[in-house]
């Protein structure tokens, strides 16, 4: 029984090695390479387009975030004519608005990443 198991393991390993050698030869063959060369070439250019779109979207999103931060900083400063109560109420509304805008910009970035995957 023990001898049969050893032979089974040895022959299985030999079969796996032969399959690996056959797959590597198939991948390296010129006929196989010609069929997939054009597909790979097209995918590479498509990938470049996606990179450019991703970069443009990232730059746009960073610009929007910078604008929102500047607007938020301006709005958080106290106006000369405001009372304490008005100032705190406006700060509260502005904080809520700022969080909502930043969440929407983050969600937009997440959607782009998921679409590019």
**What pLDDT, on a 0 to 100 scale, did the predictor assign at position 78?**
87
What span, in angstroms and rounded, lies between the C-alpha atoms of 89 and 70?
Answer: 20
Residue 1 maps to a domain = no
In a domain, 79, yes or no: yes
Q: What is the pLDDT of residue 85?
A: 93
Residue 111 inside a domain? The answer is yes
- For residue 73, being part of any structural domain is answered with yes
pLDDT of residue 86: 92
Decide if 17 is inside a domain.
no
- Looking at residue 5, what is its pLDDT? 87
Q: What is the pLDDT of residue 88?
A: 92
Model pTM score: 0.47
Is residue 2 assigned to a domain?
no
Give pLDDT, residue 30.
64
Query: Domains in the chain: how many in total?
Result: 1
For residue 83, what pLDDT is reported? 92
In a domain, 43, yes or no: no
**Grouped pLDDT means (10 residues each) for the chain, 117 residues:** 85 86 76 56 60 81 89 88 91 91 79 66
Q: Is residue 74 part of a domain?
A: yes
Per the CB < 8 A criterion, the answer to whether 41 and 85 are in contact is no
Q: Which domain holds residue 100?
A: 55-117
């Amino acid at each position: 029984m023990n001898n049969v198991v050893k032979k089974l393991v040895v022959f299985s390993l030999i079969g796996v090695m032969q399959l690996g050698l056959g797959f590597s030869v198939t991948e390296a063959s010129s006929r196989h390479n010609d069929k997939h060369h054009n597909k790979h070439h097209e995918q590479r250019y498509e990938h470049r387009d996606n990179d450019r779109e991703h970069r443009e979207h990232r730059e746009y999103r960073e610009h929007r975030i910078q604008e929102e931060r500047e607007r938020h900083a301006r709005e958080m400063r106290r106006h000369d004519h405001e009372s304490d109560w008005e100032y705190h109420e406006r700060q509260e509304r502005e904080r809520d608005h700022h969080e909502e805008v930043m969440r929407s910009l983050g969600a937009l970035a997440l959607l782009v990443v998921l679409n590019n995957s």
